Every structure is written in structure tokens, then in C-alpha cells.
Amino acid sequence: AVAKRKREAAAARPRKRAKSAPSAPEPDARPGPEEYSIPPPVSQGKWKNKERVLIFSSRGINFRTRHLMQDLRTLMPHSKADTKMDRKDQLFVINEVCEMKNCNKCIFFEAKKKQDLYMWLSNTPQGPSAKFLVQNVHTLAELKMTGNCLRGSRPLLSFDPTFDKEPHYALLKELFIQIFSTPQYHPKSQPFVDHVFTFTITDERIWFRNYQIIEEDASLVEIGPRFVLNLIKIFQGSFGGPTLYENPHYQSPNMHRRLIRLSVAAKFREKQQVREVQKIKKKESKVLVQEDPTEVVFETPAEEKPVEIQLVKPESKPIVKDKKKLRKIQRKKQKKLFRTEA
């Protein structure tokens, strides 16, 4: 009887209808004059370019480098972070770290002597890779610019025309495009383009700037950060391998500091030599110059004044500190003179 009731209850319930997918509009159907077609959101697109950039550093960096690294991570939504690498480890270990983090590009900051900063840009694990000396670093918090941009928005990349003239600059341009450009339809990116990364070549160095695009008049306002990259070498492999290009204009910071010390030492030596020459001149016997008889021609004799001899001793004036007493003494003298005259 219980089984009979269950069968009857199951038969009495209406079956649930399966949800059918909404019918897609026909390709030929066009919206009418009063209808508006809303484009699908950007996030529904297919994420094909899956570039991931690992941004980390070695131990021994200063606060400015740490802030610069954090600024690059905020500007690049397709970046990943990792712990600092020990100085004893070899650079090719970074390829294994990128493989574990599922990254195919890498920006590695290497600090030396707690004052020199080097940047590696690499395409892991095949290569190529480039090593730069980073100079004139200014972070977002340090600049305090008026510009601003949406976090995670995709940037435009602007390159100097010189990048297309030289082969090593063309290679660096492709490396910069693959590293700094945010992939389309990235999950963490925003569907807006409101700032520009500019790479300019001046004085044999690459100058990086970040500008905001103002919608009203399409003018540019700098946001930050800013830094200068001085190219050292381009390698065929990732963090090593055969050298493809070496910058002939590059001067190491050690050599630069050595030249400064040598210039200061040369100035000091020059001053010492001048002092020694002056001492030798003073010790030398003085040469007596013969008198010139024509020198007296232009001398005019001064007028001789008669000598006056004072026979009478001058009267001594009383030294009185109080002015009132001085006035009383003067009055008494005047009264005496008046009486004698009378």
C-alpha cells in the first residue's frame, strides 16, 4: 500500500521542463530604426594571448627599487610576483622559477653594491634576453603627478622612430611589446585604454614615461613612474648564451666613479704643484733691478707746510660721566667769567 501511494504521488507531480538556451538572433536580422543593439561586454571575448610576466628581484635592493617594482605590478595586470632570489643562485635558475609560475616573460631586478640597479628583460626559456642599467628612477609616490588612470586598463605603446632603423632596437621593440602590452580579454584587465607607455631613445639610452590620455582634447598628462634604461648586452638565450649585441657607448658605474675620483685627485695634485712652485720662487735670490733715472721725471714734489710749535699746554677737560654735573660746572664757569668782566 505504501509503494502504491508513492507511485501515485510521483505520477501526480508535473515534470520540470528543461531550460532551453535563448535562440540566437539570425545573422541577417538587422535592428529597426527605433531599436538599439548593445555590444557584448569585453569579458565575454576569448582570451587567446596568454602572456604572463614574472616581476621580482634579488636581495639587497633599496626602497626606491622596491616601489618601482610594485608600480610595474599595478600597471601590468598580467604580471605575477615571487619571493626575492638569493645572490648566490645563478641566473639560469630564473627559467625554472618562471616555469613553476607558468610565466613565459620575466622582468628581473638585480642589485649590486647596494647602489647599482640592473634590469633583465627575458623571453623564457628560449630567449632572447637583454640586460640594462637602470638610472634616474622616480616612482609613483615620489612624483605626485596630477594624472591618473584606471587600474588594470590596457595601455597604448608608443615607440621612437629610431626603433625601426637599427636591428638591435627592432629586437628590443618586439620584446617591449610582448612584455608591457596587456593581452586582450585578460580576466584582470579593464576594457578601457586611458594611458600610454612611451619609449624614447635619447643620448644612447631608452627613456620610459607613462602618460594619461585626457578625453576632452586628447592631451597627455604624465602619471609615472619614470626611469632610464642604458642597454648593456643582448643575449641569444634566456639569462645567458651567445652575445648578439654589445653597447659600445656603455660605461660601467664602477668606471664612472673611478673617473670622478681621478678627476678630483688631478685637481688636488695641480693645486699642490702650484704651491710648490710658489715656495721655490720665494726661496730664489731676488734680482736687484737697476734704478731708472727717468722715473723721477713724473714725480711732483709735495708742498712743504710750516712747522707750528705749541708753547702753551692745553687745558685739561674734566671727565664727567653725569651730564647734569657737566652742565653745573659749565654754569659755574660762566658765572665766574661774568663777575670778572663786571
> Is residue 13 classed exposed, middle or buried when 0-12, 13-18 and 19+ CB atoms within 10 A define those classes?
exposed
Residue 125 burial by Cβ neighbours in a 10 Å radius (0-12, 13-18, 19+): middle
What pLDDT is stored for residue 25 in this prediction?
Answer: 47
> CA-CA distance, 304 to 298, in Å (whole number)?
19
Q: Say if residue 13's pLDDT is above 60.
A: no
Query: Is 123 inside a domain boundary?
Result: yes
- Which residue range is the domain that position 236 belongs to? 53-255
Distance separating the N- and C-terminal Cα atoms of the chain: 169
Domains of the chain: total: 1
Cβ neighbours of residue 60 under 8 Å, at least 6 residues apart? 87, 111, 112, 114
pLDDT digits over 90-106, tens only? 898 999 999 999 999 99
Report if residue 326 sits inside a domain.
no
Residue 340 lies in a domain: no
Question: How many other C-beta atoms can be found within 10 angstroms of the C-beta atom of residue 173?
Answer: 18
> Residue 123: in which H helix or E strand, if any?
strand 116-123
With respect to residue 236, please indicate whether it lies within any of the assigned structural domains.
yes
Confidence of residue 133 (pLDDT cuts 50, 70, 90): very high
Percentage above 90 pLDDT, the chain = 51
Closest CA to 153 of 109, 212, 101, 102: 212
Give the mean pLDDT of the chain: 84
CATH number reported for the structural domain that contains residue 82 in this entry: 3.40.50.10480
Strands 226-237 and 205-213: antiparallel
C-alpha cell at 261: 675620483
Higher pLDDT, 136 or 340: 136
Residue 112 lies in a domain: yes
Mean pLDDT of 30-53: 67
The residue among 297 and 6 whose pLDDT is bigger is 297
In a domain, 274, yes or no: no
pLDDT tens, position by position, 160-209: 999 999 999 999 999 999 999 999 888 888 888 899 999 999 999 999 99
Residue 227 is assigned to a structural domain of this protein? yes
Q: DSSP for 185-196?
A: T-TTSBS---EE
- pTM for the model stands at 0.68
Domain for residue 279, yes or no?
no
